[in-house]
């Protein structure tokens, strides 16, 4: 009797990434990512709850392909993080990057 080998689910993996590319304009990267409707849908959903892979049934009203594309955009902008939980990954917003963006926007407001 062979034991079935447990394999990680297919999804956009963030936990085994290499060094993050350091952008010369991180605010542009974050704002560009957030200019996508699917990304905003994902951000709104993740602001209320974490998401567990795989996304075969979609997430927050989007099909799997759209979810994965939005996750990639958020990842590239550094706005999303994940952690392993068994074979799955749990995705959540990167609070510190959103704080950086909020500080940037607050700095634009003249009093």
Domains in the chain, number? 1
Tell me the pLDDT tens digit for each residue of 32-51.
Answer: 999 999 999 999 999 999 99
Residue 42 lies in a domain: yes
Residue 17 lies in a domain: no
Residue 91 lies in a domain: yes
Tell me the pLDDT tens digit for each residue of 63-103.
Answer: 999 999 999 999 999 999 999 999 899 999 999 999 999 99
Tell me the pLDDT tens digit for each residue of 54-68.
Answer: 888 889 999 999 999
Range of the domain at 56: 26-104
Q: Nearest 5°: CA angle at 106, between 100 and 109?
A: 155
Q: Nearest 5°: CA angle at 48, between 45 and 51?
A: 60
Residue 52 lies in a domain: yes
Residue 68 lies in a domain: yes
Q: Give the CATH number of the domain where residue 67 resides.
A: 1.10.10.10
């Amino acid at each position: 009797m062979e034991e079935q080998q447990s394999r990680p689910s297919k999804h956009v993996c963030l936990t085994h990434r290499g060094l993050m590319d350091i952008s010369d304009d991180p605010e542009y990267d974050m704002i560009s990512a957030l200019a996508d409707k699917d990304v905003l849908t994902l951000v709104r959903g993740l602001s209320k709850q974490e998401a567990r892979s795989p996304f075969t049934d979609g997430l927050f009203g989007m099909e799997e392909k759209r979810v994965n594309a939005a996750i990639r955009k958020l990842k590239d902008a550094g706005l999303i993080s994940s952690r392993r939980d068994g074979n799955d990954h749990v995705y959540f917003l990167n609070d510190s990057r959103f704080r950086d963006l909020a500080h940037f926007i607050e700095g634009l407001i003249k009093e």
